[in-house]
Structure 1
Amino acid sequence: MAHQSMDILSKVLEQTAKVVEEKLDAQMSKLNEIDEDDLERLKERRLEALKKAQKQKQEWLNKGHGEYREISSEKDFFGEVKDSKNVVCHFYKGSTFRCKILDKHLTILAKKHVETKFITLNVDKAPFLTDRLRIKVIPTMCLLIDGKTKDYVVGFTDLGNTDEFSTEMLEWRLGCADVINYSGNLMEPPTGPVRSGTKFTKVEKKTIRGRTYDSDSDSD
């Protein structure tokens, strides 16, 4: 019986090896069939994709992406938001130390994520806008997609509730709102796994000058 079992096992292994060999032969045959014309077409498609990506990047740069900029009024805010798909706007006060901390991180991220526009606005110059968006805590970041507020980052609560949060932590938080192209794992922030019960700022719809925005419904 033992000899019979060994014969059966040997045949199974032999058949398995044969199937694997046939698959490898098929793959090698397919590779051999790629001629110079096929390779040239692959190069052309790759070059076209690179040109398209470069054109898109230049369009973003022309719209003010790639750098962290201060805008002078709430009127400018509407124009900036209308002009770009993804926008991060930091509402600040000059006397608030934590705003300066945020400025440092946003300057870095603006250069890294050119797909998103990063701007900042002094709340003293935008009383109507800050009232309509119910911005009560400084700093507050308004995260907008297609002209509508997708999310808010109020203070540093979502960033570990510390002034010492990393740029990577802020990058992760913006990635959670899909306002930047985040390449990491959204289920695990840089400082460790997401804690059970973690909540981000809730939003509710508000209309500003005939356009729909979402507004913060919570305050600290």
Structure 2
Amino acid sequence: MERVVQQQLEEIGKQLESQVDDQLAKFESMKVDDLQSIRDEIQKKRKLRMELEKKWRDLGHGSYDELGDEKAFFDAGKKSDRFIVHFYREATERCKIVDVHLKTLAAQHLEARFCKIDAEKSPFLCSRLSIRMLPTILLLHKNIVVDRILGFTDLGNRDDFKTDMLEWRLALKDVIEYEGDKHNPPDHTGPKKKHQTNIIRKRNIRRGNEDSDDTDEGSD
């Protein structure tokens, strides 16, 4: 058995060595003009990225801002292809947890616009977008809602979830650039921390005669 394993290891070593030799031969055969073309292409991509990042910053990307009214929501959605909006209520403790994580991610992902909007001051939006649970995070691409995160169920169903868990969840619909494994969430172990209030509240956040309640999510 040991001899078979040794032979297999030797075969793998030869294959790897052959691959390295091929890469070195390819590199050595490249002409000066080829190398210069590669450098020029890299510089071009860097320049385009810098210009794009400047455009994003001019649109408010890089920071986590509050939208003053419903009109601001529509204006921002038209300007930014990737738009992430947290519908919150000041009295909801879990919304404050979301704020911390989204502020961190906004600084890390210039490609997306991160904002928050007060659900109680946005009855038309809440009605039109069926916002019934707080916190709710809407994910929009080119002004179209492609997904939504309701409460903490998709984040491990715990209040002490890590920022990279929310980052992974946002990446599933490509609203942010992500280098990790989309098929597997970050592995965080440990006991679940129950939501301290663990209370389900209902409050009408729509105008008019039509009733629609929104619910603060609690953990069991």
Paired residue for 1:186? 182
Unpaired runs of 5+ residues, structure 2, are: 1-13, 189-213
Paired residue for 2:10? none
* Cα separation, partners in 2 of 1:27 and 1:65, compared to 1, 3 Å: closer
User: Are 1:145 and 2:141 an aligned pair?
Assistant: yes
1:27 & 1:157 partners in 2: Cα distance? 47
AA of the residue aligned to 1:62: D
The percentage of aligned residue pairs carrying the same residue is 40
Which of 90, 96, 101 does residue 92 from structure 2 map onto? 96
Paired residue for 2:47? 51
Structure 2 counterparts to residues 1-220 of structure 1, below 5 A: 24=21, 30-191=26-187
AA of the residue aligned to 1:175: A
AA of the residue aligned to 1:116: A
Count of matched residue pairs = 176
**Structure 1 residue 35 displacement after superposition:** 2.8
* Cα separation, partners in 2 of 1:122 and 1:42, compared to 1, 3 Å: same
**SS of residue matched to 1:44:** helix
Q: How big is each residue's C-alpha offset from its partner over 1:190-214, in whole Å with a ceiling of 9 and x where there is no partner?
A: 136xxxxxxxxxxxxxxxxxxxxxx
1:187 & 1:41 partners in 2: Cα distance? 36
1:187 & 1:30 partners in 2: Cα distance? 34
TM-score by length of 2: 0.73
**SS of residue matched to 1:89:** strand
1:55 & 1:144 partners in 2: Cα distance? 23
Larger Rg: 1
AA of the residue aligned to 2:45: A
1:177 & 1:49 partners in 2: Cα distance? 25
Q: How big is each residue's C-alpha offset from its partner over 1:165-187, in whole Å with a ceiling of 9 and x where there is no partner?
A: 11011011101122111211111
**SS of residue matched to 2:133:** coil
AA of the residue aligned to 2:56: W
Unpaired runs of 5+ residues, structure 1, are: 1-16, 193-217
1:104 & 1:183 partners in 2: Cα distance? 22
Paired residue for 1:210? none
TM-score by length of 1: 0.73
**Aligned structure 1 segments of 4 or more residues deviating by more than 3 angstroms:** 26-33
